[in-house]
A = this chain, B = another copy of it.
Amino acid sequence: MVQSLSRSPLAPARFPDMPVIKGVRFAAIGAGVKYQGRTDVMLAQMDPGTTVAGVFTRSSTRSAPVLDCQSKLNGDSKDGAAILVNSGNSNAFTGHIGQTSVAEITAAVADLTGLPEPRVFTASTGVIGEPLPHDRIIAKISELKDGLSETRIEDAALAIMTTDTYAKGASAQVVIDGQTVSIAGIAKGSGMIAPDMATMLVYIFTDARLEQAALQDLLATICNRTFNCITVDSDTSTSDSLMLCATGASGVNVKGEEAFAAALEAIMLDLSHQVVRDGEGATKFVEIQITGAVTDADAKVHGLSIANSPLVKTAFAGEDPNWGRVVMAIGKSGATADRDLLSISFGDLLVAEKGWVSPSYREEDAAALMKQDEITLKVDLGLGTGRATVWTCDLTHGYISINADYRS
């Protein structure tokens, strides 16, 4: 079931130009896992010396490939590494057969690339509960390997799409000690989850050299401010995976340089926003800035309560500056709030202050602002210095159509 979805109105104009990441090569191929007439498997192979970090879904029903990847992050970086991803079937809730599929694919990739099995990572995204036809994938690995190229990262991004309406990429270059290192990432996802448990998958590559522990720490920290701050529909995939591979092929050691972390964060923020912009049925990109909370954690709870509220999301869809629903979402979040200290703004327009509508508020100003494609909602709780920013999209007939109107 892949409908022909038209490109999101919030999509960027085109896939960005991406720098070559030394030490990584990409390939993509059509294996017919489920979809016909398109690519559905990507392979990325990294040179010896590559360290790999990963952050994965915390779902208690996570998929076989996720469990396998989580066990392998601390492998020996002297060896190279490979990542193989298929779309069309998530190999989730497939019992022991699912583990067998992962093992067979891993063995085949290891055999053809000469890598040890603990350095082969896999991911699967698509329909769940059906056995993964891994033989179709294995039959194509030799051809995939022959197609590996430093410049095929866009092909890789296209092969992992499910209900995505565009391929997602972002990159940066940073000068450290007079030498340039590059970072490039790709992502797929049309919500925290999309029909048939399609998934958010993100792969980022750099030719900088970092120890695995430092790489993991950097990835987890920035993930909390980027991918863990987006939501399309509050549903969490069984397969969400974010991996960062550092090949070291630039010869540049990164040891806590702020410029590298900032460039990586910019890429992760860009990719996370691209996922929201491709949210199922999305017509509005909404940034929610929470300030004045008791703690940063409280601020994030309030932000996500607003971002996940069906009534707030349908108000955005209806271009209705319905700040009452924002008050409701704060009230139900469970984090500390005082009704009579709340201030709410849409963009720079102060809507409510001290627990009531602002004297300067004019409904027609807010209605005009709500017609924009990109809207910032600001909430100040008036309690402390805790802050957080989260991103979401609106909830429209398009979401219902994608998820209810067609049988899978």
Contacts and interface: CB of A to CB of B under 8 A. Distances in A.
A130 B93 CA distance: 50
Interface in A34-84: 57, 59-62
Contact of A238 (B193, B328, B354): B328
B129 A236 contact: no
A399 B397 CA distance: 9
B318 A238 contact: no
A131 B95 CA distance: 58
Interface stretch (A133-141, A255-263, A336-344): A336-344
A132 to B, nearest CB: 13
Interface stretch (A22-30, A202-210, A319-327): A319-327
Given A238-B327, A397-B400, A403-B315, A60 B95 contact: no
Interface in A292-341: 308-311, 314-315, 317-320, 322-325, 327-333, 336-340
Contacts of A229: none
Chain copies in the assembled complex: 2
B235 A311 contact: yes
A243 interface: no
Contacts of A318: 403-407
A97 B342 CA distance: 16
Contacts of A328: 59, 61, 128, 193, 197, 235-238
A323 B130 CA distance: 12
A94, A327, A329: most-surrounded residue (chain B CB, <10 A): A327
A224 interface: no
A127 interface: yes
A406 to B, nearest CB: 7
Contacts of A367: 407
A172 B144 CA distance: 71
A60 B128 CA distance: 39
A10 to B, nearest CB: 17
A216 interface: no
A357 interface: yes
A193 B325 CA distance: 10
A155 to B, nearest CB: 28
A317, A328, A406, A407: most-surrounded residue (chain B CB, <10 A): A328
A201 interface: no
A355 interface: yes
A232 to B, nearest CB: 9
29 contacts: A60-B331, A60-B333, A60-B337, A61-B342, A62-B339, A92-B324, A92-B327, A94-B356, A95-B340, A127-B324, A129-B352, A129-B356, A129-B357, A193-B311, A195-B311, A196-B322, A196-B324, A197-B324, A235-B329, A236-B331, A311-B403, A314-B399, A314-B403, A314-B404, A315-B404, A320-B404, A394-B404, A395-B400, A397-B397
Interface of A: 57, 59-62, 92-95, 97, 127-130, 193, 195-197, 233-238, 308-311, 314-315, 317-320, 322-325, 327-333, 336-340, 342, 352, 354-357, 367, 394-397, 399-401, 403-408
